[in-house]
Amino acid sequence: MANNHFDVNPTTLPAWQELTKHASLLKEKRIETLFAENKLRNSNFSIKHKGFLLDYSKNLVTEEVLLSLFSLADQALLKDHTAAFFAGEKINTSEKKSAVHMALRGHKKDNYRSEGELIYGQIAYSLSKVKDISSKVRNGTWLGSTGRAITDVIHIGVGGSDLGPRMACQALRAHAHESINIHFISNADGSEILATIKTLDPETTLVIIASKSFSTLETMLNADTTMRWLQKSLGLKNPQSSTHVIAVTANKQKAASYGIDPSRTLEFEEWVGGRFSLWSSVGLSVSIYIGHDNFTHMLDGAREMDIHFNTAPYEHNLPVMLALISIWNNNFLNAHTCAVIPYCERLSLFPAYLQQLEMESNGKSVSLNNESLEYATSPIIWGKTGSDAQHAFFQLLHQGSHFVPVNFIGFINDKTSNKKHHDFLLGNLIAQSSALMIGRSNEELPMYQKQPGNNPSNTLLIDELTPSSFGALIALYEHKTFIQGSIWNINSFDQWGVELGKKMTENLLDTNKSLEFIDTSAQYLSLYIKEHTSS
């Protein structure tokens, strides 16, 4: 499909002009007033779908705004772009790739294709290898070089090859194997990998090296350190060829040249973007930790959200509504930052995950037609779990000078907690969303105690945190990100902005190169470090 097939500048669309007028008229309106004007606002401005409730009533939106947002989606060709997305067409235009990660959780009857070719067979084969290895590690039949069963797994990756599996294991720790521990290493800071291996028994440790290219600097640095540890501890000449090491990559040749046996290399496809790779072989550590049946439930939950997004009308569509409300706040109410507050400690990594998902995907300023944009794209995503966040930065949300929409996320039932704790937690969620909207303006109060209120928020309530609902939650935000990128007329599936820093680091570390290629400040800092490095 031609690169400019979906090239629609949203600011030229009639709906964009309508929304600009709506924003001007609503500028002085209070959200509370909208509730007073519509007694059914709670039910009219919420969506229920299979254990999910999205309440978006505490936003500065009206029926007229919603209709214009739906028109914007249509005029920006969202339905056509979605059809191409699910058909496996090359919507990643700069790299000429499809981005059909939904196929990783699809069933055979879904008939997913990439560039016209059916891909279920290769995905099913990869998942069968994940299941086989996971089962052997969990039941104690995957043995190390000395014949002992695995008790610890080190997952080495970075970015999408780390954050997704790390978050999933933390979120679903209630389903963890009773005697297998997972350790995630991503940062190039050597203290992390050195401190980790110091506590482990090499005879019972399995190392998973997850890298799409199998050349990512941080990952290979940590992998090399771990291989030296195995070599020294176990007396293995080539530990990477032993049963202590598994590769997960799209570059099987590179893994083989590193010395990893092809039988212990799990592949995933080039069209799987790193931040969408949780559902692929990259999820091996998750399958080991929570069991493959639960991993499959996670995939099925995500698939259910895929079907919902692809079939539900806009007004009943969870990802569409989340995306459109975000565009309204970002592009028309000038809220260029968004806080995400899960009231569940097991989702403490969720804000960080969304930072990569949304800001790496939509942190772009160039259109599909390779032209500079004159409108905002991805807002800055940040957050922390409640109720800790209330004692950290909620002061700014309530009384600061920045306009920050908030996404509250909560689980109605929690078998891992007790009623007293959980009631307190959900009570805080509801109270904070209410306080942000209502504020406090009693005339008798001193100015420093007053709170303006009128801060918008969404509340997403989910019946319970299970593998299935977790999968659905992640897929919900994946599709939200795609929808926003589609309407903003950008490519959500490349990340060229990451490459320059990588290249400069390589050059800086190359001892054969002079420092003349870098700026004078960088030269100064580099020389200062050399002069003050202890021998």
Q: Give the whole-angstrom CA distance, residue 298 versus residue 296.
A: 5
What is residue 184's three-state secondary structure? strand
SS (H, E, C) 200-255: CCHHHEEEEEECCCCCCHHHHHHHHHHHHHHHHHHCCCCHHHCCCEEEEECCHHHH
Q: How far is CA 254 from the centre of its chain?
A: 27
Q: Please, what is the angle between helix 63-75 and helix 318-327, to 10°? A: 100
Q: Give the whole-angstrom CA distance, residue 329 versus residue 314.
A: 18
Residue type at position 85: F
Whether the Cβ atoms of residue 34 and residue 454 lie closer than 8 Å to each other: no
E-assigned strands of 391-430?
A: 406-413
Long-range contacts of 195-203 (CB under 8 A, 24+ apart): 196/154, 197/154, 197/225, 197/226, 197/229, 200/152, 200/154, 201/151, 201/152, 202/144, 202/229, 202/230, 202/233, 202/234, 202/244, 203/144, 203/145, 203/146, 203/148, 203/234
Q: How far apart are the first and last CA of the chain?
A: 58
The percent of the chain in helix, strand and coil, each rounded to the nearest 5, is 55, 15, 35
Active site residue 398: no
Could you tell me the two tokens for 82? 């979605």
Q: Give the whole-angstrom CA distance, residue 82 versus residue 112.
A: 13
Going by C-alpha positions, the residue among 290, 295, 263 that lies closest to residue 279 is 295
Active site residue 391: yes
Could you tell me the two tokens for 280? 């692929």
The active-site residue, picked from 89, 269, 304, 360, is 360
Whether the Cβ atoms of residue 507 and residue 499 lie closer than 8 Å to each other: no
The active-site residue, picked from 21, 391, 415, 421, is 391
Going by C-alpha positions, the residue among 322, 308, 310 that lies closest to residue 379 is 322
CA 52-55-57 angle, 5° bins: 165
Compute the half-sphere exposure of residue 277: CA atoms within 13 Å on the CB side of its CA. 32
E-assigned strands of 395-524?
A: 406-413, 457-464
Q: Give the whole-angstrom CA distance, residue 177 versus residue 264.
A: 22
The active-site residue, picked from 21, 27, 48, 502, is 502
DSSP H or E segment with residue 49: strand 46-49
The runs of H, that is alpha helices, within 105-215 are 120-139, 163-171, 190-198
Active site residue 270: no
**How far apart, in Å, are the Cα atoms of 141 and each of 125, 148, 401, 455?**
21, 9, 59, 55
Could you tell me the two tokens for 422? 């959980």
Q: Give the whole-angstrom CA distance, residue 496 versus residue 376.
A: 18
The burial of 302, by beta-carbon neighbours within 10 Å (0-12 exposed, 13-18 middle, 19 or more buried), is given as buried
Residues involved in catalysis: 360, 391, 502
